[in-house]
Amino acid sequence: MYAPIGCMKMSDEWIKVAAPATTSNIGPGFDIFGLALHEPYDIIEGRKTEHGIVISEVSGPGSDSIPKDPTKNSVAIAAQAVLGRCGADFGIELKIRKGIRPGSGIGSSGASAGGGAFIANIMCGGKLSKQETVLCAAHAEDVTSGGLHADNVAPCIMGGFTIIRSYEPFEVISIEPPKDLGVVLALPDIIVYTADSRKVVPREVSIKDMTYQIGNATALVHAMETGDLALIGRSVKDIIVEPARAHLVPYLKEAEKVAMSHGALTSFLGGSGPCIITFYDKSTHNGDVIANAIKELYANNGMKCDTWVTNCGTGCKRL
């Protein structure tokens, strides 16, 4: 149903979606592996307009730094990519409520891009496959984050543990992670922008390092498929990217050690940082104990650190 407002015809029907945080890289899978989390998440609302993309509201943590200009905003760029691909003859008004602050390393821009593409595809009658929707969202990541990477938008839209098998041609695989895989997020109170964090990644690697990463990456996929939590713990290893970024996150190594000493399976830098991700076995350990220990480490060093004890998630959903 359409009602004229000013010179623009708008739909009365608002569609609302939740777009979750994600963790990417997961040790050896730089720009390849991703995992959807249950929380935190952004809420994106949209309704059809006659033409163009307009962002009428942005709220929540870090919203001051989020541009409303649709050519610079991840939600709008991704939504526009979907409208273009579907040949849509309408525009969208968007409201964005951030639950994931920018510069966190848990896919803040990825949730925006994923949510923007997801909601636009609903408005287009679900014309695009999940993989095509991911590609539209990845385009937004390319524009806003300093490089084409789909390892946050893929799990955000598809859920579970995702593997970007290839960027050209684009192919994503999604695996359901083991049910006992618990996740602790620890977010120290600093901001690391993905574009900056990508600048310190080595441009070349030795065959020896490549072999090490591939061994761990393939073992991690097998462990996710078979639900082997101990093997997940042993396979989340990265000797190329995390070491180059470690200086960007104070007390990263100490936090990882604290997590391990409280029974974690593995603890590592989340995406481009500063978030620290810890996996633990929910059937034998308590995530709160790990979260509190990391929080205390940062408090003892005069820094605030937010934590979430959460689970693997199923991706974007309509509310």
User: Within positions 139 to 178, which residues make up the interface with ligand HSE, using CB under 6 A?
Assistant: 149, 151-152
The least CB distance from residue 5 to ligand HSE, in Å, is: 38
- By the rule CB under 6 A, 23 interacts with ligand HSE: no
- The stretch near ligand HSE (CB under 6 A) out of 60-68, 190-198, 211-219, 276-284 is 190-198
Q: Is there binding between residue 196 and ligand HSE (CB under 6 A)?
A: no
Q: Compute the distance between CA of residue 154 and CA of residue 271 in angstroms, rounded to an integer.
A: 14
Q: State the nearest-atom distance from the C-beta of 194 to ligand HSE, in Å.
A: 5
Q: Which of 194, 266, 278, 307 is catalytic?
A: 194
Q: Residue 11 or residue 23: which is nearer to ligand HSE going by CB?
A: 23
Indicate if 168 belongs to the active site. no
β-bridge pairing 53-59 and 91-97: parallel
Minimum CB separation of residue 145 from ligand HSE in Å reads 7
Work out how close the CB of 275 gets to ligand HSE at its nearest, in angstroms, rounded to a whole number.
Answer: 9
CA neighbor of 97 nearest in space, from 17, 191, 159, 155: 17
Q: Which residues are catalytic?
A: 141, 194
Would you tell me which residues interact with ligand HSE (CB under 6 A)? 24-25, 30-31, 107, 149, 151-152, 194, 197-198, 271-272
